[in-house]
């Protein structure tokens, strides 16, 4: 059976738009998750960590997988305790204020979560290292840990990026389209040109 090339082009367009919608939805969920953690940290512990919203989806890309891991490994913990652990991890990576971080660690100790926090911190470093190795294998050069975590929003959407690869699709166009949608979301910190190159390399890794 022979397919009309115009029909094939239209099918690829539908796939592309579906992927773009998934990417946008995933990013919004990451950002909303961060906002929710910020609100609950203030509600539960009186912590003002509104500055974390600056990191948007990048922060969500790091701590959402950690939340899911904590819930699986420590089902006895309540929401309040999980929020405190996640804020501790977030500030450890995204906020360079020793006094403030020490205050959070004191609250973690008061909750009897010191050992748990150490395990979560180790898990966060393992996640960071795994992501670094993935990016390295895709020939993406990241100069610092801060630059690495800036791209953490990609962690939950790598599958969506992989789904964007269709037979006969142009890598440059696909990468540019996804990057444009990501930047337009307003919840990521990277520029469109650099992000396009990064996504292009990730796509090539899957081919």
List pLDDT tens digits, range 30-87. 889 999 999 999 999 999 999 888 888 888 998 999 999 999 999 999 999 999 999 9
What is residue 168's predicted lDDT score, i.e. its pLDDT? 58
Which pLDDT value is given to residue 39? 96
Residue with tokens 């652990």: 85
User: What pLDDT is stored for residue 205 in this prediction?
Assistant: 84
CB 37 within 8 A of CB 56: no
In the predicted model, what is the mean pLDDT of residues 121-127? 93
DSSP string, 175-201: HHHHHHHHHHTT---S-HHHHHHHHHH
pTM of the complete model: 0.81
For the chain, what percent of residues have pLDDT higher than 90? 36
Length of the chain: 207
Tokens of 98: 């020793």
| Number of domains composing the chain | 1
Mean local confidence (pLDDT), 143-154: 80
In Å, what is the CA distance from 120 to each residue of 15, 82, 110?
Answer: 37, 10, 17
Q: How far apart are CA 110 and CA 91, in angstroms?
A: 18
Measured in whole angstroms, the distance separating CA 187 from the mean position of its chain's CA atoms is: 11
Range of the domain at 14: 5-206
For residues 26 and 116, give the distance between their C-alpha atoms in angstroms, rounded to a whole number. 28
User: Tens digits of per-residue pLDDT, 180-206?
Assistant: 888 887 788 788 898 899 989 988 887
């Amino acid at each position: 059976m022979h397919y009309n090339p115009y029909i094939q082009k239209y099918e690829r367009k539908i796939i592309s738009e579906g992927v773009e919608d998934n990417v946008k939805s995933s990013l919004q969920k990451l950002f909303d998750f961060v906002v929710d953690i910020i609100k609950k940290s203030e509600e539960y512990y009186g912590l003002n960590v509104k500055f974390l919203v600056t990191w948007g989806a990048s922060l969500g890309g790091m701590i959402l997988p950690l939340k899911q891991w904590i819930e699986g490994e420590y089902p006895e913990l309540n929401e309040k305790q999980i929020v405190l652990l996640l804020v501790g991890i977030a500030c450890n990576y995204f906020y360079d204020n020793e006094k403030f971080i020490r205050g959070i660690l004191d609250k973690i100790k008061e909750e009897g979560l010191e050992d748990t926090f150490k395990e979560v911190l180790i898990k966060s470093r393992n996640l960071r290292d795994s992501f670094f190795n993935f990016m390295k294998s895709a020939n993406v050069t990241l100069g610092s840990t801060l630059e690495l975590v800036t791209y953490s929003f990609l962690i939950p959407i790598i599958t969506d990026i992989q789904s964007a690869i269709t037979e006969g699709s142009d890598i440059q166009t696909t990468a540019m389209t996804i990057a444009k949608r990501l930047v337009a979301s307003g919840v990521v910190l990277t520029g469109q040109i650099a992000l396009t190159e990064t996504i292009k390399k990730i796509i090539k890794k899957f081919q």
